[in-house]
Structure 1
Amino acid sequence: MANPSRSFDPTELGAYFALIEVSSLLRHTVEQQLQEAGGLSYVQFQLLARLGDSPEGSNRMTDLADGVVYSRSGLTYQAQSLEQRGLVTRAPSPDDERGTTVTITEQGRDTLAKVFPGHIAVLDELLFEPLARGDVEVLADVLGRIRDHMRSAPPRSAAPRRRKTR
């Protein structure tokens, strides 16, 4: 466990604030582009993109919630919204009657195809343009290690549910 009395040196503090600011600026522009190009929120895009990358085009809600680091109830609302638009279908999971499986539809794939060019353009312009290829490789390595470290403890959405006692 981390030392609670430790303070950050200027380099660590600068790295932290830069990461937060870069993340906020990038997400803001990405959200605008997704809304304009496809009427999608950032979370809805993540959900569709994960389903689109899945070999079967399907995934369990719990796994999707863990992957996009979003609450189960919040993701249920987002999936319901996408289902109403015809972009996904939801059905009981074949291997767990308590679970729900979400599947991307052809209309959902078409929406992804419509938003991806602008999405890639935003990422190219804001994230990758100022970096050399070696910088991108270092960034991918560093962020990958941080992500893996943070995911070593399951996200809250993956924690077993507690039954309410009366």
Structure 2
Amino acid sequence: MSDPPLVPPHEVDPVRLGAYFALIEVTSLLRHAIEQQLHEDGGLTFVRFQVLMRLHRSPTGSHRMTDLADAIVVSRSGLTYQAGLLEKAGLVARSPSPDDERGVTITITDAGRALLGRVLPGHEEVVGDLLFEPLSRADARALADLLAPVRDHMRAAPPRSASRRRARPTAEG
């Protein structure tokens, strides 16, 4: 008995496939270079840098932990772990949220701002050299204009960190 004939894969639009793989490759290469620079210049991981930057850019220097987890698309437990490491290093402080008794607020410290001051020049250089050097200003604007609706579309569904937690099964059933 012979094997059944192979079913051809679903036809994929080669333009879309090419765009997808180009985006994935660019993102991977850029993130690798950024992670290397952040580690060398400040001993930071990419996630810790994102936390510090979101706090730094906030008018108050603070965010609710849940909101921050959603913003950087990391699990709540993952952010709690990262925030603990940042707090231990004196780069952030955590406190009860003033408007939510169960919530926690995270705030950047002066030491966190100083560390950002040390790593940002190298970060801007890496991003500028790798991402923006081959693009004109009009190309960069077009790239931002193309990515904004994609980002907004993806953000329309809550990130996993914001999804309601499933109830854990109890011993009774």
TM-score by length of 2: 0.90
**Aligned-partner Cα distance in 2 for 1:78–1:42:** 11
**1:164 shift after superposition:** 2.6
Match among 10, 14, 23 for residue 10 of structure 1: 14
CA deviation vs aligned residue, 1:37-94 (integer Å, no higher than 9, x gap): 1110000000000000011100011001000000111111100000000000011111
Aligned length: 162
1:48 aligns with 2:27: no
SS of 2:32's partner is: helix
Evaluate the alpha carbon distance shift between residue 163 and residue 98 of structure 1 in structure 2; reply closer, same or farther with a 3 A threshold.
Answer: farther
Evaluate the alpha carbon distance shift between residue 148 and residue 7 of structure 1 in structure 2; reply closer, same or farther with a 3 A threshold.
Answer: farther
1:116 aligns with 2:127: no
**Aligned-partner Cα distance in 2 for 1:140–1:15:** 15
User: 2:42 corresponds to which residue?
Assistant: 38
User: 2:64 corresponds to which residue?
Assistant: 60
**Backbone CA RMSD of aligned residues:** 1.2
| Structure 1 gap ranges (5+) | none
CA deviation vs aligned residue, 1:12-34 (integer Å, no higher than 9, x gap): 11100000000000000000000
Match among 152, 158, 166 for residue 156 of structure 2: 152
The residue identity in structure 2 corresponding to 1:50 is R
User: 2:134 corresponds to which residue?
Assistant: 130
TM-score by length of 1: 0.94
SS of 2:12's partner is: coil
SS of 2:150's partner is: helix
User: 1:142 corresponds to which residue?
Assistant: 146
**1:163 shift after superposition:** 3.2
**Aligned-partner Cα distance in 1 for 2:66–2:87:** 17
**1:125 shift after superposition:** 0.2
The residue identity in structure 1 corresponding to 2:14 is P
User: 2:25 corresponds to which residue?
Assistant: 21
**1:133 shift after superposition:** 1.1
**1:160 shift after superposition:** 2.2
Larger radius of gyration: 2
**Aligned-partner Cα distance in 2 for 1:141–1:74:** 31
